[in-house]
Structure 1
Amino acid sequence: MRFRLTLLLFLTTLTGCSSQQKLFDAAHGSSANAAGWSPLISAVDAGNLPAARALLAAGADLAATTEKGWTALHFTVQDTVGRAHDTELAGLLIEAGANPDARDIYGQTPSI
């Protein structure tokens, strides 16, 4: 399956973009691409805490999953890159209501 990077998904990887909040508000946290990557998942994967906060404020779907069943929370705890914001992002998502028991297609939860 071909991965398509939409403008909204691209902007979630940037910080300090002045039009970012307007786009998030317009999208209401949706607009996943063909692989199921929502703007929230993309922002979390990029370690973009401000974008994740803005998307959650705009009503991003915490239960949205990629084609492999990963939620945004899966990306915060299973990423091997070790970014500085992973713990903070995980806390933000859990506080917002992310399910730490959500299982991907392999049966793994974010806590594994």
Structure 2
Amino acid sequence: MSVKITGNLDGLKKLTSNAKNLKDQNQTKFGDIVTKEFIQSNTNFESLDDLFEKAGFKVETEEDIEAVPQEELDNFIRENTKFKGFSDLQVEAVTEFARKQLFKGIK
């Protein structure tokens, strides 16, 4: 038994195209994922720079982020945001980024 789908499939085609584009993105900058808008809507901080500054860390590059003591950062994030730690914040940011990319241009 087969089912014939009729109607406007533009949204499905766009979703498929967006999924392919997302898959083809080999590298996305950290700042493009953990955006100012993400930080403002999910924490009481203005930006990721503001969060790091208030946590007492000087971060100017992605390498600086990797050098931050994980336990100290996790404790600060747990005490000052809704997240359990920095990894939890990153997972939520990646999820939001992927959702936005998938549904870009779809009404």
Q: Which has the higher contact order (CA 8 A, sep 6+)?
A: 2
Structure of larger gyration radius = 2
